[in-house]
């Protein structure tokens, strides 16, 4: 007899109960789902004192562990943030339910009626770090699309995540639904993660959200299909013909507006004949951007520091900007092909041919002309709430919305037709 | 210094040159692609003597290795089959090119113009067994959708596959394109397969087509996303209200018409109150079907043999049919949930409620009412040529056509917009 480990017993049980819950919720109708979300939105507000009490435990543990103030800020929930969380749930409630939508409907020449419709994916596992709002956001997106989810957050947010998941589960129970539709993993040790990644009979998709280490760990260990939300080494190219009135606002917005997110720019590529390089670098520096410069740009702005080759491959997630000078657009393309993580690339140019050449040559999830890289976002694209930005090419590339939490089934019916 | 193995040098080189070829062909236009396919179709016919000569080598090797006559038949190319191959290429040529299609086009409130368009996936690796026509079919589908492909066929068809790939490459060269757009792997040992499955920088998708062993090997070893074409344990349920005029033709067609394919039925589930069980079993037996029966159906048709529990999980791919008797539709659903591989399930019934309950309760790629299971096919669905039938839920479920060899890029342009 094989001795099963404590980890595998724990994981098996959670997976089985999540799959049972999926069988229950996959076919409930939209109004039932919306009723739960309405209730959840109210409960978040009415039970905010419980949430705040648990959140303080995480914050105190974080402080004594010496977490940075940026990380502590990501962890923090206050009244205002709880209200935004409640509002986000109402926004998800308001989104059209993708389940049941006919993607293709036709009658074949032999009279068979065929309907390919969206159905839930099944059991969705999301592995995330720090921000506790993910528990509610992703839980609500999964539920709205008829999936059961297994949520595995980071240890630093365990108390906040636990109470948020519990509030969601209470709302499910009140509507007579299985609380396991939002299954929460309260064991955050890594040895408890691996067995989940082998549960191909119970889990249909794994979505890792977080740093490079987490993404790599999940990709390398998972037997379940992974949709990853990987790093964004985002390139911004200033062409020689660029309009200086557009250049500085776009460069500042792309780097400074929210440097800690994946669609913020990391590399600034400048055509050597662009006439206002000095003004551009000075303008960025005046916003607190630390410039890492190649020899030619350093000569123009000696206050900066020298860039190292490896800087061009790094997602800084802060106010550092690596600068590369090129003599022609082809060199910019080549540089991007070598550094890009396939997330977002942008060009600022007044030259139609340059814009077209740039767009045609590159192979990334988003390619922008004369706008900030920060627009690569489900909300900005008008798609509603998102699970994240997928950097993979399969299933979904770019913002992963409700619709990407579904697959299809083809329903066909006839009067006894057989194949000739 | 790390010593690189012969396998890894070989694999690296093929992957790099395939990726270079992809960069060349990803943006060529449809008429250029169609010109190559036209040429390929002609060359297959005009060079048929070369093909036949190489095919004979595989057949002779196969015979001396003692391959079954069914396998030898799958290997065989004759004039007629070469002509069908040439015709299949013309059909792929005639399909609309998915590349460049706008999936979503809109102008955002801030004036940004956004276009999400289909683009090729990149480098597609297909791993397949026995039938040499896959080399041409899949090569043509990949090329038409702007991808470079890496084709790795089985060792038993190595001579046939090599000449077919060479003919394709010659046509590419004649049009001034890189022959590596159709890269052929002439080393079929398994130790040469593993390094391919780790090439995440060069290969975008791996599609295994073949037996369970191959699919499992690829899924477990690949770091590249896999779209698998797995086994079909297809269930056919005869409800108590089923019309006997439909039952026998559907059961025979589902099992007998082409037993060796994934959409042929494997399990026959019969409601105990269906009045014509004896006629159904006799009718199947008269077509040469070997019936594996549970005790209740064996009592009705004693000429059959007893089924074993594990038979219900097996994809026979031949004229065996496992039979299960149930007393109510809920038991049929439960049986299907336990045995199904998620491929195709069918019900024969005159009862609308039973049909709806069946469709609503099950979670498979295709669910059929009163038609043969054999209709689960890209051609039959009116989708044109297919790479295979995907049994996964991500990216594509069911027939995998040209469109599923693409991903999307979102192109957006504006006049200097930044995010507020």
In this predicted model, what pLDDT tens digit does every residue of A134-172 receive, in sequence order?
999 999 999 999 999 999 999 999 999 999 999 999 999
Give the integer Cα–Cα distance in Å for A332 and A322. Answer: 14
**pLDDT(B34) > 60:** yes
Count of pairs with CB atoms under 8 A, one residue in A, one in B: 188
Q: Is A330 in CB contact (< 8 Å) with chain B? A: no
Distance of CA A178 to the CA centre of its chain: 27
| ∠ CA A378-A384-A385, rounded to 5° | 80
Residue among A121, A363, A371 whose CB faces B413 most closely: A371
Mean pLDDT of all residues in A334-341: 95
Give the integer Cα–Cα distance in Å for B167 and B408. Answer: 31
Residue A343: partners with Cβ closer than 8 Å, 6 or more residues away: A230, A231, A232, A233, A234, A262, A263, A364, A365, A366, A376, A389, A391
Residue ranges, CATH 3.40.309.10, chain B: 234-375
CB contact under 8 A, A364 and B417: no
Query: Which carries the bigger pLDDT value, residue A161 or residue A71?
Result: A161
And the tokens for B178? 């890189």
Distance from CA of A333 to the nearest CA of B (A): 12
Cβ neighbours of B145 (radius 10 Å): 27
CATH of region A6-229+395-413, choose from 3.40.50.2300, 3.40.50.720, 3.40.605.10, 1.10.150.120: 3.40.605.10
Give the integer Cα–Cα distance in Å for B124 and B22. Answer: 10
CATH superfamily membership of A234-379 = Aldehyde Dehydrogenase; Chain A, domain 2 (3.40.309.10)
CB contact under 8 A, A219 and B220: no
Strands B406-417 and B398-400: unpaired
pLDDT on residue A228: 87
pLDDT on residue A181: 98
Q: Please list the residues that pair with A371 across neighbouring strands.
A: B417
Q: Is A219 in CB contact (< 8 Å) with chain B? A: yes
Which A-chain residues 230-249 have CB contacts (< 8 A) with chain B? Answer: 243, 245-246, 249
pLDDT on residue A395: 96
Distance of CA B302 to the CA centre of its chain: 38
Residue among B204, B355, B370 whose CB faces A416 most closely: B370
pLDDT on residue B54: 98
Residue B125: partners with Cβ closer than 8 Å, 6 or more residues away: B149, B150, B151, B152, B196, B203, B205, B206, B207, B224
CA distances from B178 to B61, B139, B172 (A): 32, 14, 6
Residue ranges, CATH 3.40.309.10, chain A: 234-379
Residue A318: partners with Cβ closer than 8 Å, 6 or more residues away: A259, A260
Mean pLDDT of chain A: 95
Strands B388-390 and A290-293: unpaired
pLDDT tens for each residue of B361-401? 999 999 999 999 999 999 899 888 889 899 999 999 999 99
Residue ranges, CATH 3.40.605.10, chain B: 6-230
Q: Which residue bears the tokens 């593993």?
A: B194
Distance from CA of B193 to the nearest CA of A (A): 17
Mean pLDDT of chain B: 95
Question: Measured between beta carbons, which residues in chain A are less than 8 angstroms from residue B380?
Answer: 108, 419
CB contact under 8 A, A409 and B363: yes
CATH of region B6-230, choose from 3.40.50.720, 3.30.470.20, 1.10.357.10, 3.40.605.10: 3.40.605.10
Strands B102-107 and A205-208: unpaired
Residue A305: partners with Cβ closer than 8 Å, 6 or more residues away: A290, A291, A292, A293, A298
pLDDT on residue A2: 63
CB contact under 8 A, B223 and A225: no
User: Counting beta carbons within 10 angstroms of the beta carbon of residue A295, is it exposed (0 to 12), middle (13 to 18) or buried (19 or more)?
Assistant: exposed
Query: What radius of gyration do chain A's Cα atoms show?
Result: 24
**pLDDT(A77) > 80:** yes
CA distances from B109 to A346, A370, B204 (A): 20, 16, 35
Question: Measured between beta carbons, which residues in chain B are less than 8 angstroms from residue A223?
Answer: 219-220
CB contact under 8 A, A409 and B204: no
Confidence of residue B198 (pLDDT cuts 50, 70, 90): very high
Question: Measured between beta carbons, which residues in chain B are less than 8 angstroms from residue A413?
Answer: 355, 368-371
Mean pLDDT of all residues in B280-304: 98
pLDDT tens for each residue of A277-325? 999 999 999 999 999 999 999 999 999 999 999 999 999 888 999 999 9
Confidence of residue B79 (pLDDT cuts 50, 70, 90): very high
Q: Which residue bears the tokens 């049929």?
A: B332
pLDDT on residue B1: 53
Give the residue on A whose Cα is nearest the Cα of B407. Answer: A393
pLDDT on residue B2: 63
Confidence of residue B93 (pLDDT cuts 50, 70, 90): very high
**pLDDT(A108) > 60:** yes
The fraction of chain A above a pLDDT of 70, given in percent, is: 100
For B234-375, CATH gives 3.40.309.10
Residue A128: partners with Cβ closer than 8 Å, 6 or more residues away: A134, A138, A151, A152, A153, A154, A208, A209, A210
Q: Which residue bears the tokens 């068979």?
A: A112
Give the residue on A whose Cα is nearest the Cα of B251. Answer: A418
CB contact under 8 A, A410 and B367: yes
User: In a mutagenesis test of the B interface, which of A123, A359, A419, A420 is the best target, namely the one with the most B β-carbons within 10 Å?
Assistant: A419
CB contact under 8 A, A381 and B27: no
Residue A323 has phi, psi (to 5 degrees) of: -115, 135
pLDDT on residue B197: 96
Helices marked H in B257-306: 277-286, 295-300
Q: Is B108 in CB contact (< 8 Å) with chain A? A: yes
Residue among B223, B360, B369 whose CB faces A27 most closely: B360
pLDDT on residue B228: 87
Give the integer Cα–Cα distance in Å for A60 and A190. Answer: 23
ipTM of the predicted structure? 0.92
Q: Is A394 in CB contact (< 8 Å) with chain B? A: yes
- Report whether A62 contacts A71 (CB < 8 A): yes
**pLDDT(B114) > 80:** yes
- Nearest to B138, CA basis, from B203, B81, B183: B183
pLDDT on residue B218: 94
Assign B332 to helix, strand or coil: helix
pLDDT on residue B232: 86
User: In a mutagenesis test of the B interface, which of A393, A396, A415 is the best target, namely the one with the most B β-carbons within 10 Å?
Assistant: A393
Q: Is B338 in CB contact (< 8 Å) with chain A? A: no
pLDDT on residue A229: 83
DSSP for A360-398? HH--SSEEEEEE-GGG-STTTTT--S-SEEE-SSSS--E
Give the integer Cα–Cα distance in Å for B344 and A410. Answer: 9
Residue A342: partners with Cβ closer than 8 Å, 6 or more residues away: A363, A364, A365, A391, A393
Q: Which residue bears the tokens 């989104």?
A: A95
And the tokens for B285? 């037996």
Give the integer Cα–Cα distance in Å for B305 and B286. Answer: 15
Torsion (CA) B278, B263, B216, A204 in degrees, nearest 10: -100
CA distances from A137 to A9, A385, A418, B412 (A): 28, 8, 47, 27
Q: Is B223 in CB contact (< 8 Å) with chain A? A: yes
């Amino acid at each position: 007899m094989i001795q099963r480990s404590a980890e595998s017993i724990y994981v098996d049980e959670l997976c089985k109960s999540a799959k049972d819950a999926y069988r229950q919720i996959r076919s409930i109708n939209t109004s039932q789902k919306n009723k739960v979300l309405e209730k959840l939105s109210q409960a978040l507000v009415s039970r905010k004192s419980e949430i705040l009490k648990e959140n303080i435990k995480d914050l105190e543990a974080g402080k004594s562990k010496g977490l940075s103030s940026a990380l502590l800020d990501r962890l923090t929930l206050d009244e205002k943030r709880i209200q935004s969380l409640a509002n986000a749930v109402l926004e998800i409630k308001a989104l059209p339910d993708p389940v049941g939508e006919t993607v293709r409907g036709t009658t074949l020449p032999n009279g068979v009626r065929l309907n390919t419709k969206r159905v839930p994916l099944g059991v969705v596992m999301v592995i995330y770090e720090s921000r506790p709002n993910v528990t509610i956001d992703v839980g609500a997106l999964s539920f709205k699309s008829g999936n059961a989810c297994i949520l595995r957050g980071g240890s630093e947010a365990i108390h906040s995540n636990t109470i948020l998941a519990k509030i969601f589960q209470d709302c499910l129970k009140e509507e007579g639904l299985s609380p396991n539709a939002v299954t929460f993993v309260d064991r955050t040790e890594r040895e408890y993660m691996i067995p989940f990644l082998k549960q191909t009979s119970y889990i249909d998709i794994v979505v890792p959200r977080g740093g490079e280490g987490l993404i790599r760990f999940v990709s390398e260990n998972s037997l379940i299909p992974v949709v990853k939300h990987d790093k964004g080494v985002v390139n911004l190219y200033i062409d020689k013909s660029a309009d200086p009135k557009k250049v500085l606002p776009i460069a500042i917005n792309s780097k400074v507006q929210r440097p800690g997110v994946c669609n913020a720019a990391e590399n600034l590529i400048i055509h050597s004949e662009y006439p206002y390089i000095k003004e551009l670098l000075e303008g960025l520096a005046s916003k607190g951007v630390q410039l890492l410069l190649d020899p030619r740009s350093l000569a123009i702005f000696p206050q900066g520091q020298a860039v190292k080759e490896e800087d061009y491959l790094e997602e800084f997630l802060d106010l550092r900007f690596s600068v590369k000078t090129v003599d022609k657009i082809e060199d910019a393309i080549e540089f991007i092909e070598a550094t890009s993580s396939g997330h977002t690339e942008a060009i600022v140019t007044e030259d139609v041919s340059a814009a077209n050449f740039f767009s045609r040559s590159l192979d990334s999830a988003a390619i922008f002309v004369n706008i900030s890289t920060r627009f690569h976002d489900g909300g900005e694209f008008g798609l509603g709430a998102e699970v994240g930005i997928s950097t993979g090419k399969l299933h979904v590339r770019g913002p992963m919305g409700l619709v990407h939490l579904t697959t299809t089934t083809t329903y066909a019916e006839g009067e006894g037709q057989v194949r000739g």
